[in-house]
Amino acid sequence: MGRLSVRLCGIELDNPVIAASGTFGYGYEFAEFYDINCLGTFSFKGTTGEARFGNPTPRVAECATGMLNAIGLQNPGVEKVVAEELPRLKRCFRKPVMANVSGFSIGDYVYTCSVLDKEEQVGWLEVNISCPNVEGGGMVFGTDPKAASEVVAAVKKAVTKPVIVKLSPNVTDIVSIASACEAAGADGISLINTIPGMRIDLKTKRPVLANRMGGYSGPGVFPIAVRMVYQVASTVNIPVVGMGGVSCAEDVIEMMLAGATAVQVGTANLVDPFACRNIINELPAVMDKYGIDRLEDIIGGAING
């Protein structure tokens, strides 16, 4: 393994940088800007069993240190993803990809995961039980340890590929939910998803988003994400994928010291389409600056050091 490489649930990544779901489409859109094979991997757009149009517009609002979004899981449905999106992706990305899955019932999760599990290019299933922007969506499962464990157990029975559970920060005890997922068979944990927020237009005196509230992401959530990654990584014995406000190589190092095996970059991709590529290019110099020989060696360094 090289200086930047890490192993996530048994699969080697050239580097720990993963473009986060919802900010990187199905990959081929960004392949028009640069060779996306430089990524460790990416998590493609959140997929449900049936097609979803998503929430009404406007869906995005800017904030001083981030943004709000209320997309509402717009996607063409898993059958169309398999038939159309993945073949297009395969033409420009040669590595295993992470499939992000959402649902409205345990049956939804099982069906969508079982379909994607059969796809050769899918390396991991990222089961999102943390979406705050849809009524009755995954966050219903992600805020209760028992409900979370039931989803994980059902999905694990139906698939063969590693299951990484994406958790919500909107809970009082993130560790109990992560531990319940691990006990149910999860192969990894990813966190954090967005935090509910709102903006109000002073001229109209109405919420900016048609959905009224949306998920807050960007640099403003980074300290919260680092704290939760540290808490979970200190407790579970499965890999943690850290995310939330990551925007530079130093942030990647900090997340890994907190216990993350790999690090997802989300909102930064919407600000600069070259964000992931630039972070990867900057990592060796930042490692040299802080006396780091191999990234794999610093995982959980702040916990164990």
- Over residues 26-80, the pLDDT tens digits come to 999 999 999 999 999 999 999 999 999 888 899 999 998 899 998 888 999 999 9
Read off the pLDDT of residues 169-200 as tens digits, 9 standing for 90 and up. Answer: 989 899 999 999 999 999 999 999 999 999 99
**127: which strand partners?**
101, 165
Q: Which helix (H) or strand (E) holds 212?
A: none
CA dihedral 129, 277, 227, 73 (to 10 degrees): -20
CA atoms within 13 A on the CB side of 128: 27
In a domain, 230, yes or no: yes
Question: What is the rounded average pLDDT of the residues 77-104?
Answer: 96
Token pair recorded at residue 50? 């049936």
Asked if pLDDT for residue 305 goes beyond 70, the answer is no
In a domain, 152, yes or no: yes
**What pLDDT shows up at residue 133?**
41
β-strands 122-128, 41-47 pairing: unpaired
Dihedral sign, Cα of residue 159, residue 163, residue 169, residue 174: positive
**Catalytic status, residue 38:** no
Asked if pLDDT for residue 138 goes beyond 60, the answer is no
CA atoms within 13 A on the CB side of 171: 25
In a domain, 161, yes or no: yes
3-state secondary structure of 137: coil
In a domain, 98, yes or no: yes
- Beta strands, E only, the chain: 6-8, 11-13, 17-19, 41-47, 60-63, 66-69, 97-101, 122-128, 163-166, 188-191, 195-197, 200-201, 206-207, 214-217, 240-242, 262-265
**264: which strand partners?**
18
Output helix, strand, coil percentages for the chain, rounded to the nearest 5. 35, 20, 45
Q: Which domain holds residue 36?
A: 6-304
Asked if pLDDT for residue 132 goes beyond 70, the answer is no
Q: Which residues contact 145 (CB under 8 A, 6 or more apart)?
A: 176, 177, 179, 180
**What pLDDT shows up at residue 229?**
98
In a domain, 226, yes or no: yes
Read off the pLDDT of residues 225-235 as tens digits, 9 standing for 90 and up. Answer: 999 999 999 99
What percent of the chain is modeled with pLDDT above 70? 96
Crossing angle for the helix pair 249-257 and 275-289, nearest 10 degrees?
70
Q: Round the CA-based radius of gyration of the chain to a whole number and report it.
A: 18
Instruction: Give the residue from 195, 226, 250, 206 showing the smallest Cα distance to 67.
Output: 195
In a domain, 1, yes or no: no
Alpha-carbon span 220 to 266, nearest angstrom: 13
Number of other residues whose CB lies within 10 A of the CB of residue 53? 9
Asked if pLDDT for residue 139 goes beyond 60, the answer is no
**What pLDDT shows up at residue 237?**
98
Domain at 290, CATH number? 3.20.20.70
Asked if pLDDT for residue 142 goes beyond 90, the answer is no
**What pLDDT shows up at residue 285?**
97
Asked if pLDDT for residue 135 goes beyond 60, the answer is no
In a domain, 99, yes or no: yes
In a domain, 59, yes or no: yes
Instruction: Give the residue from 133, 129, 128, 137 showing the smallest Cα distance to 98.
Output: 128
pTM of the model: 0.94
Are the beta carbons of 38 and 59 closer than 8 angstroms? Answer: no
Q: Which helix (H) or strand (E) holds 251?
A: helix 249-257
> Per the residue annotation, which of 9, 131, 181, 276 is the catalytic one?
131
**What pLDDT shows up at residue 131?**
54
Q: Count the domains in the chain.
A: 1
Alpha-carbon span 83 to 216, nearest angstrom: 32
